[in-house]
């Protein structure tokens, strides 16, 4: 979930860093947050917003004729007529894009990706729409998370601010909901929270498995089946 503090603070900092950008008042930033669609507030968090800001910084041809925050949404949502479309959920390939945040990805839509005979949909197997994941896909998702958590060294703790650790916990909770795996955690905030709370993280995973799959067991993958 994207909090008002994270939204207004990140937007204000980004506007200061970008040339030829008009600075906005605190009241204006707060009004912008209040006008966000509820789905956007639920879909996004600080990490995704910061990813979008970084993509905007890298964009060689940004769409400067639209509001700055609407520019950012183009990097995390699918587009129609060069405008972010919120009701389809986050981009189906966002997990892959955010795994390499230093690379600029053209946000131009690939419309054939979304089209079927009956209309629009996300591709099969997309973790960015957990509501469409099958039982087998949930099993695979939890299995990979379990292995990734087991590989986190509890002695590899890095110094982080409390805000970053809270974001790491939120990031991990979103992983448990099916949105991504830990290899997309480029900032290592989730890694560091898990390293400090490994037992709790494992308990949260087991509870998520029980809530989602009941008594169905996850299986141990082999070889390269677990990405990192």
- What's the distance, CA 98 to chain centroid? 8
For residues 52 and 12, state if they share a domain.
yes
Distance CA(199)–CA(145), nearest Å, equals 14
For residues 42 and 98, state if they share a domain.
yes
For residues 109 and 151, state if they share a domain.
no
CB atoms within 10 A of CB 122: 19
Give yes or no for a contact between 31 and 4, defined as CB atoms under 8 angstroms apart.
no
- Domain extent at residue 17: 4-120
Element (H, E) at 83: strand 83-84
Tally of structural domains, the chain: 2
Residue 171 half-sphere exposure, CB side, CA atoms within 13 Å?
25
Distance CA(185)–CA(188), nearest Å, equals 5
Give yes or no for a contact between 52 and 40, defined as CB atoms under 8 angstroms apart.
no
* Residue 127, in any domain of the structure: no
- What's the distance, CA 64 to chain centroid? 24
Give yes or no for a contact between 201 and 172, defined as CB atoms under 8 angstroms apart.
yes
For residues 110 and 9, state if they share a domain.
yes
pLDDT tens-place values along the chain, 228 residues long: 899 999 999 999 999 888 777 888 999 999 999 999 999 999 999 989 999 999 999 988 888 888 899 999 999 998 887 788 898 788 877 877 887 778 888 887 543 333 333 333 333 334 455 667 788 888 988 999 999 899 888 877 888 788 778 888 888 888 898 877 887 776 678 888 999 999 999 999 999 999 888 865 555 444 445 444
* Residue 157, in any domain of the structure: yes
Q: What's this model's pTM, rounded to 2 decimal places?
A: 0.52
Distance CA(106)–CA(74), nearest Å, equals 10
């Amino acid at each position: 979930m994207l909090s008002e503090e994270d939204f207004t603070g990140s937007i204000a900092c980004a506007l200061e860093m970008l040339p030829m950008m008009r600075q906005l008042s605190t009241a204006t930033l707060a009004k912008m947050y209040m006008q966000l669609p509820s789905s956007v507030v639920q879909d996004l968090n600080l990490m995704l917003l910061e990813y979008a800001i970084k993509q905007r910084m890298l964009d060689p041809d940004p769409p400067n004729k639209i509001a700055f925050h609407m520019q950012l949404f183009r990097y995390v949502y699918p587009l129609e007529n060069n405008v972010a479309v919120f009701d389809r959920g986050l981009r189906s390939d966002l997990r892959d894009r955010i795994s390499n945040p230093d690379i600029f990805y053209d946000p131009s839509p690939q419309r054939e990706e979304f089209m079927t005979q009956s209309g629009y949909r996300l591709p099969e197997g997309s973790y960015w729409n957990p509501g469409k994941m099958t039982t087998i896909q949930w099993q695979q998702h939890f299995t990979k998370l379990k292995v990734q958590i087991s590989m986190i060294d509890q002695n590899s703790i890095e110094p982080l601010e409390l805000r970053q650790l809270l974001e790491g916990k939120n990031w991990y909770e979103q992983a448990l909901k099916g949105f991504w795996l830990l290899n997309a955690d480029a900032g290592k905030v989730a890694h560091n929270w898990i390293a400090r709370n490994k037992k709790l993280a494992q308990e949260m995973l087991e509870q998520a498995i029980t809530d989602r799959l009941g008594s169905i067991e996850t299986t141990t993958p082999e070889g390269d089946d677990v990405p990192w």
